[in-house]
Structure 1
């Protein structure tokens, strides 16, 4: 029986897995919330897509302007944030099995299609992920681990976006 195919070198795979383990040492929810906090700051036009969380604004505070503190108190939103980090963990766990990653990404794309998620939002989320990792590791964009993550996210986004 042959081993699964991977597009990553052993060094890239190890760097991604070790950095993700370090980032998620305090759990998945803090990482998911941090990703969304940065994502909403960088791409505020996506906030409206989270109306399914049950948060409703009024004329003085439309839902697009709700603070992260408000969102952190919303069970549906925190469940989604934790789910995003869990899906990233699943992808990291399967990093050395490209067919499994492709399958996870197709499911991810199909799940987001019903919400009219634009392909460019996945690209922007990738930038946020890289920024979060770079800040957590206190390294530059040229660091080998960040470059490995960049490659990984390009694979993930490339396999997900056709299904949106």
Structure 2
């Protein structure tokens, strides 16, 4: 990612982070609306706790975009764990769309085209790394 994209993600996340519970609820509502079958992946989850995990994971990603040597191995491990939960490669597109929708709602006019492009780049990096980390688990 370019430095200006990282700065856009960092600034916009500072707006979203205090709205964590609401943002997570919007995200999961969007996710399950887009793909109701994904709800089965969370059938045993405490969704309040799941939302806190989501926001913590996003915070970790945002706070480490400038430190890929720390971010990428953690993202690959996250991908390995998610493969074990039943996450499929096709789910990543739905998750990305739900994330962007959530950010658009939470940021309003602050979700400008450059901010959207920056979040898309961050998500592509995260999703690609997670999928690469998940590949050996799926092959086994």
Fold match by TM threshold 0.5: yes
Q: Which has the larger radius of gyration?
A: 1
Could you tell me the TM-score, scaled by structure 2's length? 0.86
CA RMSD of aligned residues (A): 1.8
Offset of 1:15 from its aligned partner?
A: 0.8
Q: Deviations over 1:61-101 (max 9, x none)?
A: xxxxxxxxxxxxxxx22101210111011000001111222
Write the distance in 2 (CA, Å) between the matches of 1:30 and 1:92: 19
Counterpart contact for 1:33–1:82, Cα < 8 Å: no
Select 1:43's aligned residue among 28, 35, 46.
Answer: 35
Offset of 1:22 from its aligned partner?
A: 0.2
Segments of 4+ moved more than 4 angstroms: 139-142
- Looking at both structures, which has the greater relative contact order when contacts are Cα pairs under 8 Å and sequence separation is at least 6? 2
Q: Which runs of no fewer than 5 residues in structure 2 stay unpaired?
A: 135-140
Equivalences, count: 134
Select 1:129's aligned residue among 99, 110, 120.
Answer: 99
Counterpart contact for 2:76–2:130, Cα < 8 Å: yes
Q: Which runs of no fewer than 5 residues in structure 1 stay unpaired?
A: 1-7, 54-75
Write the distance in 2 (CA, Å) between the matches of 1:131 and 1:139: 13
Select 2:120's aligned residue among 150, 161, 164.
Answer: 150
Could you tell me the TM-score, scaled by structure 1's length? 0.75
Counterpart contact for 1:141–1:147, Cα < 8 Å: no
Counterpart contact for 2:6–2:66, Cα < 8 Å: yes
